[in-house]
Amino acid sequence: MKIYVLTMGTDGLDEFVGEHFGRASSFTIADMETNDVRVVSNTSGHFGDKFFYNNARSVIEF
């Protein structure tokens, strides 16, 4: 299972959790099966489907 969390920087699991998709500077992805953690920059452009278009590939490829 992978957990995708909005974060406010690049410190992964040690970072503050973001409260808004468009304002979070990054996403931290934690793979519970392998214990891998990855930080991906938020390139959403703030609104709508751009979040899914720009960031979905990063989650899928992790």
> What does the block give as tokens for 1?
């299972």
Is the model's pTM score more than 0.75?
no
Instruction: Report CA dihedral (45, 49, 55, 56) to the nearest 10 degrees.
Output: 180
Query: Top-level CATH class of 2-61?
Result: alpha beta
pLDDT of 46 reads 57
For residue 3, give Cα distances in angstroms to 14, 33, 44, 45, 61.
15, 11, 19, 22, 14
Question: What average pLDDT does range 3-9 have in this prediction?
Answer: 91
Question: What average pLDDT does range 3-12 have in this prediction?
Answer: 91
pLDDT of 27 reads 87
For residue 39, give Cα distances in angstroms to 7, 19, 22, 61.
9, 16, 16, 13
pLDDT of 9 reads 92
17 pairs with which residues across the strands? 7
Residues 12-61 pLDDT 10s = 999 999 888 777 888 899 999 999 999 988 876 654 455 555 566 666 66
